[in-house]
Structure 1
Amino acid sequence: MNKRWVLSWSGGKDACMVLDQLTSQGYQVVCLITTVPKEIGRTFGHGERTELIQAQADAIGIPLEWISCSFDSYTEDFISSLQSLKNKYEVDGVAFGDLYLDEHREWGENTAEQAGLLSGFPLWMKKEEAGAALKAFVDSGYKAKVIRISNRKLDENWLGREVDVSFLNEIVETGICPMGEAGEYHSYVYDGPLFRYKIPIEKGDIVELETTKRMELILRKDHSNKG
């Protein structure tokens, strides 16, 4: 891996683990990138409001770049934005938080290559290692809540739960991927070692979607810096 990276940022635990790993290994993450399709006006990955993703970037202290896109031209828009960021930040590569799904890795590799960048997958693992990966996150000091679940895999009671030891012990009993790699659940990280302060969030309404349920998070304005 080279020294200067942009990181595909969903706001969840996987992206946070990539950031922590790259940083601990001495690499520089010069900006976070998040796609926002115009059709929904929310993030592509988790359907989160942009203000909550911006709050993470502010708390971490890394610039955030929005990739405005359309579902019809998502890949083309992503590549075009990477090309612009390559020049703006003088980056060598783009890092992704994918774990073991080959089709996701192939997409990331291809888009990075077309933009003239390297691609990195620091968390890449075997499917059976997902449980250990979730334990590593739980032990890392980062704090996250479950914000979205697949109706086919989990019930509403999982929404809003803290991703902690209790969550780890129970999720492995469900038979789904403990890391939620196939979209079984999504999370939002709000505190941890790289955060300069804890993001003040509250649980909001639960929204029923076609195949998922989402818990809206409410961002309070009483940010208080650490220490």
Structure 2
Amino acid sequence: MKKFIMSYSCGKDSTLALYRMIKKGNTPAALLVTVNKEENRSWFHGIPENLIKEVSKSLNIPLILVETKGNDYESKFTEALIKAKDRLGIDSCVFGDIDLEPHREWCTARCNEAGVEANFPLWQENREELVYEFIDSGFKTVIKNVKLECMGEDFLGKVLTREVVKDIKETGSDACGENGEYHTFVYDGPIFKYPIKFQHLNIIKNETHGFLDVKDSENE
């Protein structure tokens, strides 16, 4: 059995990887979430810090926030793994990557530097089947970001269901969004002690992406 740290994005793939590890009897020592130091939001998915902390509480897994401006992303990530190994006794880091080889190489390199094993529970499985496993397991996730050349902004804020996956496929996008077509925020499911309450704010767009801005519903 592994004592692991979870490289966690708050999205569906890392959540499914975490769920599988727990079901097999492995022990999650912490969630590792990288945060944009200038925005106080998670990198890539843009989840506010207070919501990340609430997710940690609901999952009942300690949180390690790794603040980085981006230019020191690699070193900060490796440093966090080394600290987790020394202080928590972890032997591995788990990732939700499916089949993008450059991602796997990057993750494995950081783990090698820290002297821990890189674990990929979803690796090279069928993307669409993984999405359905996630949904059918009872997880709830909202579409947080979309690549506008692939998917319209009308997808933002939708809860991911089998019907929504069908709609995503009809745009020509990958069902799992593994090519970056969309990112999600998981707010409830079988390993959550309670659902995360949050509010939809406005939609923010730049030249390439649309983002659903969200915040903790407890804080005005």
**Same-fold call, TM cutoff 0.5:** yes
Query: What is the CA distance between 1:204 and its match in structure 2?
Result: 1.3
1:98 correspondence with 2:97: yes
Q: Which residue identity does 2:58 align to in structure 1? A: A
- 2:203, 2:211 within 8 Å by CA — same for their partners in 1? yes
- 2:7, 2:95 within 8 Å by CA — same for their partners in 1? yes
* Residue matched to 1:47: 46
1:186 correspondence with 2:183: yes
- 2:145, 2:183 within 8 Å by CA — same for their partners in 1? yes
Which of 150, 161, 165 lines up with 1:164 in the alignment? Answer: 161
* Residue matched to 2:83: 84
1:22 correspondence with 2:50: no
Alignment deviations for residues 81-104 of structure 1 (CA, whole Å, 9 cap, x no partner): 111111111000101111100000
1:3 correspondence with 2:9: no
Moved more, 41-50 or 27-36: 41-50
- 1:207, 1:215 within 8 Å by CA — same for their partners in 2? yes
**SS at 1:72's partner residue?**
coil
Superposition CA RMSD, Å: 1.4
Query: What is the CA distance between 1:188 and its match in structure 2?
Result: 0.6
Query: What is the CA distance between 1:54 and its match in structure 2?
Result: 1.2
Q: Distance in 2 between matches of 1:142 and 1:197?
A: 12
* Residue matched to 1:131: 128
* Residue matched to 2:118: 119
Unaligned runs of 5+ in 1: 223-227
Which of 195, 199, 203 lines up with 1:198 in the alignment? Answer: 195
Alignment deviations for residues 102-127 of structure 1 (CA, whole Å, 9 cap, x no partner): 0000000010000111000001115x
Q: Distance in 1 between matches of 2:69 and 2:199?
A: 30
Unaligned runs of 5+ in 2: none
1:149 correspondence with 2:146: yes
Alignment deviations for residues 174-193 of structure 1 (CA, whole Å, 9 cap, x no partner): 22211111211011111111
Please report the TM-score for the alignment, with normalisation by the length of structure 2: 0.95
Query: What is the CA distance between 1:168 and its match in structure 2?
Result: 1.8
* Residue matched to 2:55: 56
- 1:36, 1:44 within 8 Å by CA — same for their partners in 2? yes
**SS at 2:109's partner residue?**
helix
- 1:180, 1:186 within 8 Å by CA — same for their partners in 2? yes
- 2:94, 2:120 within 8 Å by CA — same for their partners in 1? yes
Moved more, 48-57 or 9-18: 48-57
Q: Name the count of aligned residue pairs.
A: 219
**SS at 2:170's partner residue?**
coil
Moved more, 32-41 or 175-184: 32-41
Runs of 4+ in structure 1 off by over 6 angstroms are none
- 1:70, 1:77 within 8 Å by CA — same for their partners in 2? no
Q: Distance in 2 between matches of 1:50 and 1:182?
A: 25
- 1:131, 1:172 within 8 Å by CA — same for their partners in 2? no
